[in-house]
Structure 1
Amino acid sequence: MSCINRRDLALLALRAGTGAVLMAHGTQKLFGWFGGGGLDKTAAAMEHMGFTPGRHSAVAAGLGEAGGGALLVLGLATPAAGAAAAGAMAGAVAVHAPAGFFAQAGGYEYPAFLGFTAAAIGLAGAGRYSLDHATGHTFDQRWMLALAFAGSAVAAAAVVTKRAQAQAQAQAEPAEDRPEA
């Protein structure tokens, strides 16, 4: 066992577990797998939650989760994968935040944990047992790390801010001007 690096093995286990959970979440949104609603129902739910347009929001969330998760499992383009998944989870945190922290009350505990874990993996790198390592870190450069996390942060902030503004505007409208649900 001396040739096996425990840190790299731990990163593999963390990537595989976190990535698989994110992939399952994303495929629920995109394809309706694992009891999910699929793209049409997810789009309607996104609209209801204030993410507009709903279909674009559903695709972005699904791809951030499923795509980011798949890349984490593979250990490929790990900075971009971690940033994409963390950005997608930022939107979920915004939805669950009014319910408080703990998941049993509908809070943001679970999406926050997934987001922070994905971000940490993206920052740490995939380790030796990964496609990043096998490809000589072609898709895991320092500039990619900075670009991926900056881009994800800007995109997540824009989406969450747009949602908050739409919700505030909807609250300010007189009841008779609101569209029926």
Structure 2
Amino acid sequence: MSAVDAGLLLLRAALALLLLGHAAQKTLGWFRGAGLSGTAGMFHTLGFRPARPMVAVAAASETVGAVLLLAGAAVPLGAAVVCGTMAVAGAANADKGLWAHRGGYEVALAYGVTAAALAFTGPGAYSVDALLGAAEHPWWVGAAAVGLGLAAALPVLLRRRAALRRGEAD
């Protein structure tokens, strides 16, 4: 077992488990989360409309990204999903500053940057991608994954911005 491969496995597992917990907070109310109804209320306030479906999309994105990263399967795609989801989450809290204790975007930034790093490094030897011979890829695959995630976040952020400007209700 190489130290790098063990480190990548640990990094993937930690990020994936945190993301799965985050999704469970949103939808199931686990880990002191607000559950679907409570999170929908928060999403509405933040401008994500319609709120309940947007909660479902966010939780599904976190779950899909987490499962792909945990398994080390299609890691650039999983990283893209996480980067995009965290870009949206971070932007929604940007007005509160960086630090999480003030409601800021610290956690979203940490998760997104970790996913981006995995997009560049690949999953390591202990992964489905390695079993398929796809664990290593050129640098531009990581850059494309991050770009794809950010591009996917843009329509959601633009829609949120328009809803906030209109004061739109569900």
What is the TM-score when the length of structure 1 is the normalising length? 0.81
SS of 2:163's equivalent in the other structure is helix
Aligned equivalents of 1:161 and 1:99: distance in 2? 19
- Asked if residue 123 in structure 1 is aligned to residue 123 in structure 2, the reply is no
Q: How far, CA to CA, are the matches of 1:132 and 1:33 in structure 2?
A: 31
**2:37 alignment partner, SS class:** helix
| Distance in 1 of aligned mates of 2:109 and 2:58 | 15
| 2:134 is equivalent to residue 137 of structure 1 | yes
Deviations along 1:130-162, one digit per CA (max 9) or x if unpaired, are 111112229x87797666444322220111122
Match of 1:85 in 2: 82
Q: Greater shift after overlay, 93-102 or 129-138? A: 129-138
Q: Which structure 2 residues correspond to residues 108-119 of structure 1 after superposition, within 5 A?
A: 108-119=105-116
Structure 2 residue 15 is matched with structure 1 residue 33: no
CA distance in structure 1 between the partners assigned to 2:28 and 2:115 by the alignment: 22
Point out where structure 1 has 5 or more consecutive residues left out of the alignment. Answer: 171-177
Give the aligned CA root-mean-square deviation in angstroms: 2.5
Name which one, 1 or 2, has greater alpha-carbon Rg.
1
Question: Conserved in 2, the CA contact under 8 Å of 1:23 and 1:67?
Answer: no
The one-letter code sitting in structure 2 at the alignment partner of 1:97 is: A
Identity %: 37
Following superposition, the deviation at residue 12 of structure 1 comes to 0.6
* Alignment match, 2:164: 167
Tell me which stretches of 4 or more aligned residues in structure 1 moved more than 3 Å.
Answer: 140-151
In structure 2, the gaps of 5 or more residues are: none
- CA shift at 1:23, angstroms? 1.0
Listed as ranges, the matches of 1:97-108 within 5 Å are 97-108=94-105
Count of aligned pairs: 169
